Amino acid sequence: MPTTANLPVPVRRGYLADIYTFDWKQLSFRTPLIGILSIGLCLFGGVLFGHPSAGLIAGGGAFTIGFGVNQRIADSRLWPMIAATAAVFLSTMIGMLVGHRGFTLVLAAAIWGFTYGILTARAAGISWVGQQSAITLFVASAFPANFHFTLLRSLLIGGGGALQILITSICLRLLPELAANLRAIRQTSSEELSHLFSSNFARYRMLLRLRALPENLLHIPTFPFAIRMSLTVAISAEVYRHLGVQSGYWIPMTALLVQKPAFSETFSRAFLRVGGTLAGAVLSTIFLIHIRPDPYYLAALTTFFALWSYATNTVNYGLYTLFLTSYIVFLLSLNSLPGPVIAHRRALCTIAGGLIALVIHVDAIRRLRNRQRTLPAQLPSQI
């Protein structure tokens, strides 16, 4: 029998350990190198055929879906990527049709934020899909357009995601799994539609489910967090709407990404997000000053920083944000947007989004403590 001295001693992490912890064991380039293949094809293909803006849109879709290979739904690497591709396609459509100047953006942001908050009670892969859907909604709202251009942009993003799934499946030898998943989608869809229209009482069952929905939501452990998340992104979207700047979508995006159930997590994420964004803005500005604004150079640098964003995603959040910011600056520079201006606006909007998330969380803690004084027996599961 092992003695007490031989038992492993649990390592106690500090209150804000995420800020100064770098898990270099997680640094790997095998999967990231696979992930950037589709991104490079989209970016260089767009430049080569004289449509760099189309290439960056498709490349952005491929970049987003590439993170799904590290997620799991039902022990599958591909289900998160397939679900996220469909989700970002739909969110792009809605975000562009809603735009960023009307109050409908605030309403949509609140719904998407609440849905993501509820999904955090599910598997990590499922909540990741909800997160990417909300982020895509915010980004797409910066480019309001008519239905024709909305559909075109959505197809480019969805096409980039589909290309990422295909290349990843080939390189990781997951093509049989991909084929099985696609067949399952088709079979499940047909069965659900058949079941829906086969019964004369289908509409009544649906009404009963809708009536029971509020009561069921109250029993979900993440319901308080979902309410806070919805409030956070709604306020952030309202600030973005009044700001009237296209880059303002980084405000609700940052607020959504840094808001966490525990205050220490929210503070750490906000600190790392802001610090990494500022460092990335400085780094990308230095690059842009000392290189020629050639589209091929920009495409190469975008792909390079996409690689490092993938590789450092689980090493340290601040380091990952540094490379992510540089990736975004060079990506948007392909559309002839001034890189230093992009970096400056991103930094300011990231600070604003982080502060909003912190203020909302502090207010939630204050309200909780006031409630505890009056109703000590009623304690929510998360703050």
Q: What is the pLDDT of residue 9?
A: 41
Q: What is the pLDDT of residue 207?
A: 42
Highest mean pLDDT among 148-157, 169-178, 203-212, 278-287: 148-157
Q: What is the pLDDT of residue 8?
A: 43
Contact 113, 234 (CB under 8 A): yes
Label residue 2 by pLDDT band (50, 70, 90). very low
Q: What is the pLDDT of residue 187?
A: 65
Q: What is the pLDDT of residue 216?
A: 57
Q: What is the pLDDT of residue 376?
A: 52
Label residue 261 by pLDDT band (50, 70, 90). confident
User: Considering the entire predicted model, what is its pTM?
Assistant: 0.83
Sequence letter at residue 228:
R
Contact 88, 158 (CB under 8 A): yes
Label residue 253 by pLDDT band (50, 70, 90). very high
Residue with tokens 């969110």: 91
Token code pair at residue 304: 């390079």
Q: What is the pLDDT of residue 303?
A: 96
Cβ-in-10-Å burial (0-12, 13-18, 19+) of 219 comes to exposed
Label residue 217 by pLDDT band (50, 70, 90). low
Residue among 142, 39, 52, 46 at smallest CA distance from 335: 52
Whether pLDDT at 14 is above 70: no
Label residue 247 by pLDDT band (50, 70, 90). confident
